[in-house]
């Protein structure tokens, strides 16, 4: 029996992934350090549960549980190593994570030779970036003779559940210089604020965020200029984070990550002043096949709290493909060219998600 072990399976994204896999009649194991939470969700889904501390007993549990696939949702990945992926590979278990840490996702190639040796697939970044962002570019790249720039970003609704790992990830690069990608100036986390107009949502403030696409896309698509941002629905919160970024930029040695729990609780106090609607925009600019200027604007809007379903899609689709035998490649790779945009969108038809493009 091919089972999927979900590390952090009762967390925000882990729970969504677990529910989706069960709906596809895939056997799962809900795992984490909290036995009660794991058992509770497992009972609700008629699934198995396991208590696993990835820093202590992962290897022993892999030997006991013998999963076919491990999905790792235990972020943040910004300062993580590849221990979990390596252990899975050596156990001849396929590995998928939802990382968005730039260095972590881009460095997954370090496990490529090992994964090919054990004939498994090891995928990092099975999330909105770089999976969905690259799928959108792949969908439209044949309309361009060259792509000069891509401007894109994500803005969740204020009421959308936020996990501690997500908050820590944002705080990890707040006000810090982001490594310059090919031919571009250095940007600073959560700065360079601008207003992006969305269908349905209206205007949202956006600020610099660091993602793996900065290193991956120039090589894969030849894009000359890349700008990615994220934004809060609540203007007060967005400007507050922007103000904190200047504290770090001015060189004060404050480790904001240590206060992630406090910031998470503080942000939740503003939930009554927002909605559960969020979105993503992608603006691709370049030249068409005749050498004329061409700009494509693509938006995905999620309402009624369905935004987190979007980053949950890739790991579910990859798991199903692996179990069905439809994905036979081995090695370690960022999550690009494994899922088409059509596949991605088809998996969201049952949710309150809509695409606008022109």
Q: Transcribe 338-353 into DSSP letters.
A: SS-HHHHHHTTTTSSE
Residue 167 confidence (pLDDT): 87
164 with 294, same domain?
yes
20 with 117, same domain?
yes
55 with 196, same domain?
no
145 with 239, same domain?
yes
Q: Which of 262, 281, 302 is the last residue of a domain?
A: 302
Residue 339 confidence (pLDDT): 98
HSE-up of residue 281 (Cα within 13 Å, Cβ side): 26
Name the band, by pLDDT with cuts 50, 70 and 90, for residue 75. Answer: confident
247 with 298, same domain?
yes
- In angstroms, the first-to-last Cα distance of the chain is 45
Instruction: Confirm if 208 and 229 have CB atoms less than 8 A apart.
Output: yes
Residue 182 confidence (pLDDT): 65
Residue 107 confidence (pLDDT): 96
Q: Does 183 score more than 70 pLDDT?
A: no
172 with 289, same domain?
yes
292 with 143, same domain?
yes
Q: Of 151-165, 175-189, 225-239, 272-286, which gets the smallest average pLDDT? A: 175-189
Domain total of the chain: 2
Q: Residue 117: inside a domain, yes or no?
A: yes
Question: What values do phi and psi take at 100, rounded to 5?
Answer: -125, 5
Report d(CA 282, CA 154) in Å as an integer: 9
Q: Does 326 score more than 80 pLDDT?
A: yes
Q: Residue 56: inside a domain, yes or no?
A: yes
Report d(CA 96, CA 105) in Å as an integer: 11
Q: Average of pLDDT values for 205-229?
A: 95
Read off the tokens for 254. Answer: 């404050």
Q: Residue 267: inside a domain, yes or no?
A: yes
Q: Residue 172: inside a domain, yes or no?
A: yes
Name the band, by pLDDT with cuts 50, 70 and 90, for residue 222. Answer: very high
Beta-sheet strands, E only, within 156-302:
177-178, 187-188, 194-198, 202-208, 225-230, 278-288, 293-302
The enclosing domain of 95 has a CATH number of: 3.40.50.720
The enclosing domain of 138 has a CATH number of: 3.30.360.10
No. of helices (H) and no. of strands (E), the chain? 13, 16
| pLDDT greater at residue 312 or residue 164 | 312
Residue tagged 């972020």 (tokens): 75
101 with 152, same domain?
no
Report d(CA 73, CA 308) in Å as an integer: 13
337 with 280, same domain?
no
Q: Residue 94: inside a domain, yes or no?
A: yes
Distances (CA, A) of 18 to 24, 250, 306: 10, 43, 15
Specify the DSSP class assigned to residue 143. G
Q: Residue 358: inside a domain, yes or no?
A: no
* pLDDT over 90 percentage in the chain: 85
Specify the DSSP class assigned to residue 179. P
87 with 221, same domain?
no
Nearest CA-CA partner of 79 in 48, 109, 100: 100
121 with 189, same domain?
no
**Domain of 119?**
3-128+308-353
Task: Please give the mean pLDDT across all residues of the chain.
Answer: 95
Q: Average of pLDDT values for 303-330?
A: 97
Beta-bridge mates of residue 331: 121
In terms of DSSP H, where are the helices of the chain?
12-23, 35-45, 58-65, 83-90, 102-106, 112-117, 133-140, 164-172, 213-221, 235-249, 260-268, 309-324, 341-346
290 with 165, same domain?
yes
């Amino acid at each position: 029996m091919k089972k999927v072990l979900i590390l952090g399976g009762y967390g925000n994204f882990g729970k969504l992934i677990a529910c989706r896999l069960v709906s596809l009649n895939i056997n799962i194991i809900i795992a984490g350090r909290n036995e009660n939470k794991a058992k509770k969700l497992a009972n609700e889904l008629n699934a198995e549960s396991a208590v696993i501390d990835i820093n202590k007993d992962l290897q022993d549990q892999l030997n006991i549980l013998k999963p076919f696939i491990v999905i790792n949702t235990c972020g943040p990945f910004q300062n993580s190593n590849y221990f979990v992926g390596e252990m899975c590979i050596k156990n001849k278990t396929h590995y998928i994570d939802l990382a968005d840490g730039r260095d972590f996702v881009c460095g997954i190639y370090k496990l490529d030779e090992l994964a090919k040796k054990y004939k498994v697939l090891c995928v990092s970044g099975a999330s909105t970036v770089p999976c969905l962002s690259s799928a959108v570019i792949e969908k439209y790249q044949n309309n361009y003779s060259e792509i000069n720039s891509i401007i894109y970003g994500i803005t969740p609704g204020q009421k959308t559940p936020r996990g501690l790992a997500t908050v820590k990830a944002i705080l990890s690069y707040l006000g810090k210089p982001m490594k310059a990608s090919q031919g571009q100036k250095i940007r600073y986390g959560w700065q360079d604020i601008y207003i992006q107009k969305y269908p349905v949502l209206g205007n949202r403030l956006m600020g610099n965020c660091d993602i793996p696409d900065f290193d991956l896309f120039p090589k894969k698509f030849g894009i000359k200029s890349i700008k990615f941002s994220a934004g809060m629905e609540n203007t007060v919160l967005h400007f507050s984070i922007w103000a904190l970024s200047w504290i770090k930029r001015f060189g004060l040695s404050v480790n904001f990550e240590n206060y992630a729990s406090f910031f998470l609780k503080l942000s939740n106090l503003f939930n009554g002043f927002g909605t559960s609607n969020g979105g993503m925009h992608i603006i691709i600019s370049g030249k068409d096949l005749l050498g004329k200027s061409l700009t494509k604007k693509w938006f995905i809007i999620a309402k009624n709290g369905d935004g987190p379903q979007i980053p949950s899609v890739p790991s579910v689709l990859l798991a199903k493909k692996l179990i069905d035998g439809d994905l036979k490649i081995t090695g370690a790779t960022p999550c690009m060219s494994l899922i088409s945009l059509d596949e991605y969108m088809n998996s969201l038809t049952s949710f309150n998600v809509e695409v606008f493009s022109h």
